[in-house]
Amino acid sequence: TAKGELRTSSIFRAIVKMFSDLRFQIINPKDDFICPITLEPFKDPVILVDDGRIYERAAIEEWLEGHDLNLLTNLPLKTKELRPATDLKNKLKAMATEEGLRAAASRFMEFYLFELCFGATGKDVKESKLIVDFVAMLAGKKLKEMRKTAVDVVPSDAGKSFLLRKILELPDPKLKGKATEMIHKVMAMTVKKAKYLGTNLCVNYASVQEQIFAEKTLTVGDALAVMPELTSALDQLEFQFKGKNSHPVEKVLTTIAKLRHVIVIFANGIDQVLQATEDKKEEKTKAQALKPDVLKLSKALEPVFQSKATMVRSLRMFLLKNLERSRGVSFLRSAMLVSPLSECKWLKDWKNTSEPGLIRFLGSNKLPNTNPFKAQSLFSDVHVALSTGLDPKTSGFKELEAICTQTFTQKKESIPALKGALLAAIFHECYLLKVLEDVPAATRNQIKKLAAWVKSSPNLAFLSAQEREFIAFFAWEEAANGFLLQLTPESKTEDIVLFRVLVHVAVAALSSAENSLPRFFYGLIFKPETCVNKWLPCMLEDAQAMAVRILGGRWYKCSNGHAYFVDKCGRPTVVQKCATCGVKIGGLNHNLLPGQVDLDSGLEGNTNYSQKTKALDKSEPNYCLKEAKEESAPFETVRSMTPISDRSQRLLMHCALLAGSIVSGKTWVKRVTKLFNKTISAKAHKNTAGFLADHIRGDWKVLTKLVRKSPDDVGILLHSLLNDLVLPNKQVATNTIPPMLVEAKKPPVQGIHSWVVLDTIPKRNAFETHFGKNNVDVVFDSKNMAPRLEASQKLFAQDSEDGAQVFTQELMEKSDIKIMPASMRQEHSPALWRYRSPFSLEDFTMELNLSEDNKANFPVLSAFLSSEKNLQALQYFPAAIEFQTLLLQKFNRALTKEAAQKLTIGQAISKASDKKRWRDAFQGYVQAWNLGWKFVERFTCLEIPDMYKKFSIDEKTPITMVLPQEKDEGICGLGIMNYLSRRHNQFVEIIYEKLLLRGQELQRNSSRKNVVSSKFFSVAHTLKYDLEGKFVPFVAKQCVSIGDDGATIYNFNNAEQYLLDVFFVGKPLVEMELRMVQYTDDEGAVNTLLLKEKVDQEPLTREEQKQILNELGSPAMAHKAMRLLETCISFLQATGGSYIQKIGVGDKFLIEYVKDVLLMKDVDFGSHTIQSKIKLKHIDSLWKTLRDFTVKDPFENVHARYKEVLGADEGKRLQQDAKGLDLETLVPTMQELIIQRLIEPQTSASAPIADFIGWAPVGDNYMNEMEWFKHFPKGIQMQYIVDVYKLLSESFTQNE
């Protein structure tokens, strides 16, 4: 079918019918899936043969064990036989696939509607009948092809609005006119029938008009410019549902849409003006510049908010909703009490109506209208007694004294609760008054008396001196050292919310028993010195222990004590360099090099495979966080804590630390800075209070971002958490915590049975687990957060705030519009004035990453969104490969290193025959470099030097920066290609894992088709995607819905499946086969150790070696053959990467490999023997033969330390000892070890040669295990090894 023919009504209806029929077959709504016994959905349904009914197996079996009568009929059972309910089981399985069908339908319709019908070729859509179907669908009508179980092909409001806009913006003027007219008519009909404006189609139409208007109206100035037009159209809001209207529905909706956006701009302006802080000068400057226009817009909106239209209350509430969603209820209340809102006539008039809900919600000041301490034990009694004592008419605090005395003498177990209640009541009743401009003198006087009473009353003998001082501070007593976060009349509402959390930390600390987790905060506030050299939660992880935990595998230490790990079997198969000190690490044939030891002493000497290292946690004690601005990454956590758990514990800990400054006076800085490690910020020592205050604000900002709630709501949840933590059932015994694991020969450290100090690492870990996983994660669980928040708000509400709660419920849109009376929907048009949160990919990502279950269930989506910046370079991977290949083909072994360093990329391109191909490939390489290089830290164990980390690539760059080599600048070209291949393969592995779990095994292990060589890697194989153009619009349209309570609901499954279907399914792993560059002055640079790990090698006979050299005739011909051989070795070493070991190609002829695999057709090695007899298993021996023939001194690059001449007598003894040695094995092995391991002076000159060569592999054994090796002299030192080799080589030649 031609593409255009698919855009017809008949095709569209056929698609809808197909999905409708599929769903009808999957689930028939008449079927009953509920067990008559359990009244729960079936899990394992069975048929009772006696009556033919279906029951849950476990339930009916339990009944039959004790009864002989039928459960439902009460008649005697003829049989107790049960049979599987196969048909119902199949239907239950089908129900599980229903969501999959919905997702598939939405993705298919996404393509049909927005790619085919309204994509790049949308101008070709001609059929008006298809548009009629779309409009009918948007109006909520079902096509005749749809069953009752039809799948909603455009389920989200965003998707419907997007489709409607596409129809309204059809490129064909004639079709567009007809479609627009039809939409207007259908809207009028739906309004007439419903008798209210907020029908589904009308809401979507208004949403589209708001989008169009918003694209042109961006600033407060833009909004001011359109206000005259909107003011003149206010009569349109007085829509009549009886009789004829002077304004059509579409005009009314367009005006509402424009007013909505102007109100949004006004709310944002108020937010910016009121939230500008003194310490952020740039923010304050912008706010001051904006304020005059905000005041003008406020004045211009007066007629709007004073309109006589019945929906005017909805307009006002819409403004309040925007302000509340921005900063929370407290901010809204505060904003309504200050300019510009406090000066608005419409708000004054609204107050004058004496609407109870508004008046109680607003209050007369910015004091909080909730009290989170109401749930505190003894708070109610203490609060009442305190209120009585503060009354100027009473004499003293007798009722309070009575409570204290009774508790102290009769209920000593309640003393901690009394301390907390006393602090909470004094804070709530007294300290909060500091935010008011004017506090009556009589009240001030009573508070002063209260402070004196707290400090001196004998009835408070249960308080320590520090506790008295601390509580007295909240009775307006000045702290000796001052206090940085004190409340004042200038404090913003968010300051009050945050400060109240700080106080609640102290309340919980005072209220808690020794076994309660908040007792830890008590130590930080009142006894910080006891925490010195102890552990704190959320501090940095021991990097080594973290690496072992995350990477797994088996870990070793190099000869200088630096750690490295070996994955797969856990035993080394390759020799590399230590990233820290550069010494050789690893080993060959699963055997460690001399000097290497296990990181885990428990594995020392264990040569078994697949052993896992257990690392000793050596994380530092004390406080070791950097400045707040450097700790702002929301998802960086330690020890597998969730981001919210980590940030919550940090916030509460910092609050406790800063609260301690109230009581410690001038000694506080000295006492608390002992907790700080010397390596952290200087500000922590110079301005300790400022350092901690910055952290509190920073933690608060990150936490509100993570939770995705207003500051008010986050505060309420934290108060709920702290209330829970002091409950008796939340106490956690510490005697079950294991002692600290320590190094051998040191005794274990036992912890005391209290949480005041975390004196061992296991205790710190236990605290984080109990506090985080068992408490924070429960409170902030996204599934249960909304009901907990609602319950807490009701619990914390003041007794006189019932009316305010009703108003708040309306503000939060808790009512379901669908069940509202038609008269209310007609009068207020609530659906048109509902708050619509704009889609945010950041918010979507936050919600996904907050739950560990989400990460496990949607691994591809999670990995994509969390590492999208790291993936951007991968689309340029093929071009990067091509450019590096072009350079290698042209310049490998064609230039000296010095000449290559002088040749720029631009000069190389100018000399190319196909300049366009070179330039296109280079542009792709530059893009890959710019997007990927910043993430490259090292290549395997080679760390990228600092001088290269900020390097940029352009045509002036030397080609040596691109040509790959394991030294100097060559590691840059090597590093970027390794990064691209590793990132690609890591992500593809995640995709494969997802498909395996979903039952879509791609059988990559049984077929090579899903592993592509880098030589054939193309654009089709890349992980290329369109984030902003395709993925984000799809998620916004198809993966977002709004619940009845107004909450945003995300469909992560649909989003992940879209990523797989559209961008990532079928992508192969890449096998890197790029060879290293060889410069003409790099003699002997090829290292064949890795080759032996890939292909088993056999030596050439002496006769074969002589025949090859005779056929070549000259060093020049041998040199030419070496160049070809180097190419083979490079590719063989790269082949298989981490997927292949010991590839079985040793018996393949060398010439066949060169022609068939390397695709080098016309190759001549210059030797008939090489062409006809040499196989890949001989390549190592052939290379050494050619090298020795062409290189005058094979030891030219060996360090001078090892070239001392052996004395004449020692030389004679050595030649005598040589008679007992296997020189045919020893001599070539020694030569290879000297050439490849003694370039740098890493081995001591005085070390015995026997130890150095003794661990060299000989077949399946080591040389020191061979019987003949006992004749090798044990006392000769490494400084003579070159001379020893020459003497032994002479003996070997003479013996031949």
Q: Which residues pair with 943 in a beta bridge?
A: 938
pLDDT at 267 over 90: yes
- The percent helix, strand, coil of the chain (3-state, each to 5) is 60, 5, 35
- Calculate the average pLDDT of the chain: 83
Count of other CB atoms within 10 angstroms of residue 733: 8
Phi and psi of 803, rounded to 5°?
-65, -40
What pLDDT is recorded for position 369?
Answer: 80
What's the burial of 386, exposed, middle or buried (CB within 10 Å: 0-12/13-18/19+)? buried
What pLDDT is recorded for position 250?
Answer: 93
What pLDDT is recorded for position 746?
Answer: 37
Cα dihedral: 881, 884, 887, 891 (round 10): -120
Element (H, E) at 219: none
Cα(39)–Cα(43) distance, integer angstroms: 12
Q: What is the DSSP letter of 116?
A: I
Q: Which of 305-314, 548-557, 1168-1177 has the lowest mean pLDDT?
A: 548-557
Q: Model confidence over 645-670: pLDDT tens digits?
A: 999 999 999 999 999 998 876 788 88
Of the candidates 705, 594, 712, the one whose C-alpha atom is nearest the C-alpha of residue 643 is: 705
Amino acid letter at 173? P
Q: Model confidence over 719-769: pLDDT tens digits?
A: 999 999 887 765 565 555 655 544 433 344 344 457 888 988 889 999 999
What pLDDT is recorded for position 492?
Answer: 83
Cα dihedral: 1063, 1068, 1072, 1073 (round 10): -120
Mean pLDDT for the stretch of residues 1034-1040: 82
What pLDDT is recorded for position 1003?
Answer: 39
Q: Model confidence over 471-518: pLDDT tens digits?
A: 999 998 876 566 778 888 888 888 899 999 999 999 999 998 888 899
Whether the CB-CB separation of 1204 and 1241 falls below 8 Å is answered with: no
Q: How confident is the model at residue 958 (pLDDT cuts 50, 70, 90)?
A: very high
% of residues, the chain, pLDDT over 70: 87
pLDDT at 782 over 90: no
Of the candidates 432, 444, 312, 315, the one whose C-alpha atom is nearest the C-alpha of residue 363 is: 432
Mean pLDDT for the stretch of residues 169-189: 90
Phi and psi of 584, rounded to 5°?
-70, 140
What pLDDT is recorded for position 1025?
Answer: 93
Mean pLDDT for the stretch of residues 284-298: 90
Q: Which residues pair with 83 in a beta bridge?
A: 47
Structure tokens at 910: 């100018």
% of residues, the chain, pLDDT over 90: 28
Q: Give CA separation, 92 vs 54, 149, 356, 670, in Å.
A: 13, 16, 52, 67
Q: Which of 22-26, 994-998, 1112-1116 has the lowest mean pLDDT?
A: 22-26
Q: Give, to the nearest 10 degrees, the angle between helix 711-725 and helix 785-796.
A: 80
- pTM, two decimals, is 0.68
Count of other CB atoms within 10 angstroms of residue 1284: 24
Mean pLDDT for the stretch of residues 1261-1277: 88
Beta-sheet strand order (sheet of 554-557): 563-566, 554-557, 597-598
Whether the CB-CB separation of 514 and 754 falls below 8 Å is answered with: yes
Which is higher by pLDDT, 350 or 126?
350
Q: Are strands 1069-1071 and 1011-1013 parallel, antiparallel or unpaired?
A: parallel
pLDDT at 1186 over 90: no
Q: How confident is the model at residue 999 (pLDDT cuts 50, 70, 90)?
A: low
Angle value at C-alpha 562, between 556 and 566, nearest 5 degrees: 30
Whether the CB-CB separation of 237 and 311 falls below 8 Å is answered with: yes
Q: How confident is the model at residue 942 (pLDDT cuts 50, 70, 90)?
A: low
Q: Which of 423-427, 546-550, 1223-1227 is modeled with the greatest confidence?
A: 423-427
Mean pLDDT for the stretch of residues 823-845: 87
Mean pLDDT for the stretch of residues 103-120: 72
Structure tokens at 222: 């833009």
Element (H, E) at 398: helix 398-410
The residue count of the chain comes to 1296
Cα(260)–Cα(277) distance, integer angstroms: 28
Amino acid letter at 616? L
Which is higher by pLDDT, 30 or 902?
902
Q: How confident is the model at residue 187 (pLDDT cuts 50, 70, 90)?
A: very high
